Every structure is written in C-alpha cells, then in structure tokens.
C-alpha cells in the first residue's frame, strides 16, 4: 500500500515537472519598472531549447498598435544589432514634439547561445502607452546547427480569452498603473519623461519596519512570561518537597 502511494506521488511530481519545463523555456519579457506613461528598462530572456544547435539571432518586433516613441538598445559584447523604423498609424505627442516614426523591430546577430544556456537582451523604452494594460512583443529566434543549417522559431502566438497557452506564445509585458503624485518623485533615465512618485515605496518600508519591531517586542514579552512561569513552577515544587520531608516518617534529603 505504502509503495503504491509513493509511486503515485512520484508520478504526479513527474507530470507536474514535465508540464512546467516547456513554459520556463519560452522567450520571456520582463521589467521592474514598466509603468504606464513612464520609461522602462525591458529585458528579453532567451533560452536555448535545442541540444545540437546554437541560438545565433534574435528579432524582437515592437507593438505598432501601441507604439513607443523612444527606444534605445543596450550594447552587448559579442552581439551587434540593427533597427527598423516604421511610420506610426497615429502620431504620438511627446515633450519633444510629435513623433511620426518609431523603431518597430530590433535584430541581434553575431553572438551565440549554446545548448543548455540562456542570455538576456535589454532595451530602454518610453513613454509606455497609457491605453492598454499589457504589451505583446513578437519574437523570432534563429538556430544554427553544426552543419550550418539555420532554423527559425517564431514566438508569435497569442492565446484567446479563456483558452490555454499556445505552443509558441508571444512574450507579454504587463504594465503597472501610473502612480499618483506624492511627496517625492524620480524621473526616467533621460530626464525628460513623466515623473513617478517614490512615496508608496517609502510607506511600505516604514510599515515593514514597524511590523518587525512589534514582532520583536512580542517575542521578548513571551520569553519573559515563559521564564517567570518556569521559576514559579520550581518554587512550588521545592515547597511541596519540603512539606513532604517534615511529615512523620518522612526523610530529609541532604
């Protein structure tokens, strides 16, 4: 019976791991500061899923339905990049005027990501759109095997509402709501973008510190109470022992 239970649990774990691995191997987009209307550093994490080929190219298509006026690319040792610019369906107004064209694609080449490895490609972009809660980036990953044959994997599929994730999902970046004005502000790296309040972060830090102090005081009080109870129990036990020793026929210990 125990053996059957162990085997069943192992099977469930194996299936769970098997289902989780492909999701972790997708091209993923992420950012720590993707706020509507703000400038953000965006990272594309690219794993190599092949066992006998290197990743030698990456193409990232920026969303044209929610265009981003300004995009800069972080230099990357071993890799070079080119950009493509497209005319925007609708002009975007910025602090520097009206923008009618924007970068629509970034192509990296020249480097490689070996089997079992991953790498990250980073850009800075903004102002991020305010009329959507997420941005979808279509990505083309190029592999090359030992014989020189190249193969493209297109991460361009989007799931319909209520449907499971497709086999090759396009990376999607969630955007945070713009913060309300507060006591302190920090700007984007260019110094010209919208300002983002820093007050909520300070409030969270203060709350966390107060909670830690309360826990420490409670722990000290609880420890003192436990020590007092232990001393009281010892006194009661010694008293009972002395009374018993004074009874007729009783013996007194040295």
**Can you say whether the dihedral through the CA atoms of 109, 111, 117, 120 is positive or negative?**
negative
Pull the structure tokens for residue 86.
């497209």
Q: Where are the domains of the chain?
A: 27-197, 199-254
Place of tokens 């289902």: 19
Cα-based torsion angle of the residue sequence 52, 55, 56, 58 in order, rounded to the nearest 10 degrees:
160
Question: pLDDT category, 7, cuts 50, 70, 90?
Answer: very low
Q: Is residue 34 classed as helix, strand or coil in its secondary structure?
A: coil
pLDDT band at 191 (very low <50, low <70, confident <90, very high): very low
Residue 37: its pLDDT value, please?
94
Res 34: pLDDT: 96
**Global confidence as pTM:** 0.61
pLDDT tens digits for 65-88?
898 989 999 999 999 999 999 988
Picking from 49, 108, 45, 99, the residue whose alpha carbon sits closest to that of residue 78 is 108
Say yes or no to pLDDT of 212 above 70: no
Better pLDDT: 5 or 130: 130
Burial status of residue 188 (CB atoms within 10 A of its CB: 0-12, 13-18, 19 or more): buried
CB 108 within 8 Å of CB 116:
no
The model's pLDDT over 161-187, given as tens digits with 9 standing for 90+, comes to 888 889 999 999 999 998 765 433 333
Flag whether pLDDT at 199 surpasses 60.
no
pLDDT recorded at residue 235: 64
CATH number of the domain located at residue range(s) 27-197 in this protein? 2.60.40.2230
pLDDT of residue 22: 42
**Whole-number average pLDDT of the chain:** 75
| Residue 93 scores a pLDDT above 50 | yes
- Over the stretch 8-67, which tens digit does the pLDDT of each residue have? 434 443 333 333 334 457 999 999 999 999 999 999 999 999 999 999 999 999 998 898
pLDDT interval class at 108 (50, 70, 90): very high
């Amino acid at each position: 019976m125990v053996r059957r239970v162990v085997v069943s649990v192992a099977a469930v774990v194996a299936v769970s791991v098997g289902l989780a691995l492909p999701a972790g191997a997708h091209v993923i987009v992420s950012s720590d500061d993707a706020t509507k209307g703000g400038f953000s550093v965006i990272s594309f994490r690219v794993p190599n899923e092949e066992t006998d080929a290197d990743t030698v190219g990456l193409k990232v298509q920026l969303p044209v339905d929610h265009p981003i006026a300004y995009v800069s690319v972080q230099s990357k040792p071993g890799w070079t990049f080119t950009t493509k610019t497209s005319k925007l369906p609708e002009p975007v107004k910025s602090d520097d005027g009206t923008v009618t064209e924007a970068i629509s694609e970034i192509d990296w080449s020249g480097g490689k990501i070996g089997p079992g490895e991953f790498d990250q490609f980073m850009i800075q972009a903004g102002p991020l759109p305010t009329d959507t809660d997420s941005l979808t980036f279509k990505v083309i990953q190029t592999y090359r095997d030992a014989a020189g044959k190249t193969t493209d994997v297109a991460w361009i599929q989007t799931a319909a509402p209520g449907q499971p994730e497709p086999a090759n999902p396009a990376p999607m970046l969630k955007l945070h709501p713009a913060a309300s004005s507060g006591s302190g502000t920090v700007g984007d790296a260019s110094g010209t973008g919208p300002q983002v309040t820093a007050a909520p972060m300070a409030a969270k830090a203060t709350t966390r510190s107060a909670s830690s102090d309360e826990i420490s005081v409670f722990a000290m009080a609880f420890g003192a109470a436990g020590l007092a109870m232990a001393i009281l129990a010892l006194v009661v036990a010694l008293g009972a022992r002395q009374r018993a020793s004074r009874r007729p026929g009783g013996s007194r210990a040295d």
